[in-house]
Structure 1
Amino acid sequence: MLTILAALTPVILVIACGYLIARTGLITGEQWRGVEKLAYFVLFPAVLFRTISQADFASFPTLNMGGALLASILCMAAVLMIIRTAIERIWGITPARFTSIFQGTLRWNAMIALAIADNVAGDLGLAMLAVAMVFMIPVLNVVSILVLSRYASGTAPSGAKILKDLVTNPFIVSIGAGVVFNISGLALPLVIDDTLEIFSRAALPIGIVCVGAGLDLGSLRRPGPALTLGTFLRPLVMPLLAFGFATLFGVSGPALVIVIIASSVPCASNSYLLARQMGGDAKLMAEIITLQTLAATVTIPAALLIFT
């Protein structure tokens, strides 16, 4: 327990610092957008490429991990679709609000996950989490867009647009490039490796500071069924499903830790942008992201303690 808390506490404190920096006005709104783009398009791709290009995939159960995570996602998505009519009828949750519950339950914040994985398991943890991204990011993007296009009032993007978004996603591109380089058997030139290492050292703190800056405590209204479901289904149910499927697929040790981290971190902040663009309930989405991130200070240590 103390080891888990020691690994998570720095991440939580950096998130808090990001929130305070944003509220003091030291960095303004548009400046934050630039910092976020730097982290998303440059720094984190550098981490992922360097980690994957040097990873020894034979040292951990790549396919088993991916299978457990995909099974968890698809199972939870199916459950949400099954209960959709019931929660709309019982609590008056509109289809647009359901899409925010759906995203809040399934999507994950890779920046927080990377920071925790690095603290808990070092380079091996980063490599395994990068592998998890390969399996999770495309599926989560597609199912979220499909649900929003069906139940929200916005205009659904075309299949070509969805495909373009996936193949130009900087995380997927950097992971793919890392895999190709890894398979080639080549070694990164020392000067390139050192350069990427500098980027890597900057990526995690800057990314986590941005997470804190994005929190909007003022957006939280009186909790209702939609906010409660959207906030707590993910941290309470997803780690349980992930643990069950990981056990079924024979995933254990550090790989199990990474599976639980990927399943218990809060919802991705870009879920808000997708909700706003496609006619979902963006306000509810912002509330879910904020409340989940606050709750994660308790729920992530609890999930790691219980399931690992």
Structure 2
Amino acid sequence: MNSSVLSSLLPVVLLIGAGFLAGRRGWVTGGAVRDLSNLIFLLLAPALLFRTMSTVHVEQLRLGPVAAYFLAAGLIFAATLVVRGFNRTSAVIALANTFSNTVMIGIPLIGLAFGPEGTVVLLTLISLHSLVLLTSATLVLELAVAREQARQPGGARTPILRTLARAFYNAIVHPVPLPIIVGLVFAQTGLTLPESVDKPIAWLGQAFGPIALVMVGITLASTPIGHQWRAALSQALIKNLAHPALVALLGWLLGLRGLPLQVMVVAAALPIGANVFLFSQRYKTAEDLVTASVAVSTALALVTVSVVMALATSL
């Protein structure tokens, strides 16, 4: 097994394991799980997303290498909705099929495997990853929620333009897309945050990854994976193998070669990110499946990422 893969993934597995132990021992009760989820979703994630985007200058982004990644993600996301139908569960599963753990696992892994040049390519992807995928998923989820509410007994039929406008508003004024957009706009002003403000925001953002992964473990402790393992394995295989394979194909067709394409393929092979788990909890759908899928995808990545990295060197 590639040592860089092991050194990047092992901390993630250990954090999920620590959460699993806490859940099994009853150190965190059911009510506290929801409160912790709100803390992560409403405070820690916005801090991380705002700070990440607050230093991104649009003119410095190398968009060519990330085109294959987002094109592949868009095709998989759309195919999932077509196969499963347009509803909130399908939208969350589609996000699980396409959203990689690019920060906690991706940054150290790509840095070890491809050096500074590869890290620059990955950071370009990271600067757009949440903006594109999470904002798109939020819009789809809000549209699905509006559609479900309209179909309920006694639910009023709302004109389609009003439904779209409300869904778009809810997708923007939201704990995930809003800090991304505000951070991106702030970056274009050329201003920098005072250290006294930047430091606490940085601390909050740094707390996101570990606490979110511990939460996955806590939820996993009460999730009957025995009933979910087949579906979770299917999700993990789509994310860990189908996604990078499609990125490689599309990148090759777009004329990409060498290190930029290799980084995008490995990024697509990374396991499901914890943000998907938070979305499933936020929208109260597919929580058991997503929890199991994050765990299975992360464990499976110990093997699949090594395989993808070995194959990617020929691109």
TM range (shorter): 0.7 to 0.9
Relative to structure 1, the CA distance from residue 71 to residue 117 in structure 2 (aligned partners, 3 Å threshold; closer, same or farther) is: same
Q: What SS class does the counterpart of residue 22 from structure 1 fall into?
A: helix
Q: Deviations over 1:32-81 (max 9, x none)?
A: 2222222222122212222221235555424651x333321332245446
Q: TM-score, structure 2 length as denominator?
A: 0.73
**Unmatched tracts of structure 1, length 5 or more:** 85-93
- What's the CA shift for 1:231? 4.9
Aligned to 1:104: 93
Distance 1:192 1:147 in 2: 37
Report if aligned partners of 1:266, 1:292 keep a CA contact under 8 Å in 2: yes
| Partner residue in 2 for 1:21 | 22
- Classify the secondary structure of the residue corresponding to 1:76: helix
* 1:212-271 CA distance string (max 9 Å, x none): 222256423456976664453333312211233344453864785366435643272245
TM-score (norm 1): 0.74
Name the CA distance, whole Å, in 2 between partners of 1:258 and 1:170.
27
Query: Which residue, 204, 210, 235 being the options, matches 1:205?
Result: 210
Moved more, 133-142 or 113-122: 113-122
Structure 1 match to 2:224: 219
Q: 1:120-199 maps to which residues of 2 (within 5 A)?
A: 120=109, 125=122, 128-143=125-140, 155=152, 158-199=163-204
1:1-308 counterparts in 2 under 5 A? Answer: 1-55=2-56, 57-62=58-63, 64-65=65-66, 67-80=67-80, 84=83, 100=89, 103-107=92-96, 112-120=101-109, 125=122, 128-143=125-140, 155=152, 158-216=163-221, 218-222=223-227, 229-249=234-254, 250=256, 253=259, 257=263, 260-261=266-267, 264-266=270-272, 268-270=276-278, 272-273=280-281, 276=284, 282=286, 286-299=288-301, 302-303=304-305, 304-305=308-309, 306-307=311-312
**Residues in 1 aligned to 2:196 and 2:41: alpha-carbon distance in whole angstroms:** 23
Q: 1:170 to 1:275 in 2, by over 3 A?
A: closer
- Checking the alignment, whether the CA contact within 8 Å between 2:142 and 2:171 is kept in structure 1 is no
- How far does residue 14 in structure 1 lie from its aligned partner after superposition? 0.6
One-letter identity of the residue aligned with 1:8: L
Contact 2:171/2:177, CA 8 A, preserved across alignment: yes
- Percent of aligned positions with the same letter in both sequences? 21
Aligned-partner Cα distance in 2 for 1:146–1:241? 27
Is the Cα contact below 8 Å between 1:18 and 1:212 reproduced in 2? yes
Q: Deviations over 1:153-190 (max 9, x none)?
A: 96599334422321122221111111111111112212
Does the CA-based 8 Å contact 1:106-1:234 persist in structure 2?
Answer: no
Say which SS state the counterpart of residue 170 (structure 1) adopts. coil
Letter in 2 for 1:189: P
How much is the aligned-residue C-alpha RMSD, in angstroms? 3.9
Letter in 1 for 2:76: M
Judged with a 3 Å threshold, the aligned counterparts in structure 2 of structure 1 residues 254 and 42 are, in CA distance, closer, same or farther, namely: farther
Separation (CA, whole Å) in 1 of partners of 2:27 and 2:98: 25
Letter of the structure 2 residue corresponding to residue 265 of structure 1: P
Aligned length: 290
- CA distances 1:103-127 after superposition (whole Å, capped 9, x unpaired): 4244369694432234335796566
Higher alpha-carbon deviation: 165-174 or 293-302: 293-302
Tell which deviates more after alignment, 215-224 or 36-45: 215-224
**Runs of 5+ consecutive residues of structure 2 not aligned to the other structure:** 112-118
Q: 1:179 to 1:142 in 2, by over 3 A?
A: closer
Q: How far is 1:200 from its partner? A: 2.6
Runs of 4+ in 1 over 6 A off after TM superposition: 147-154
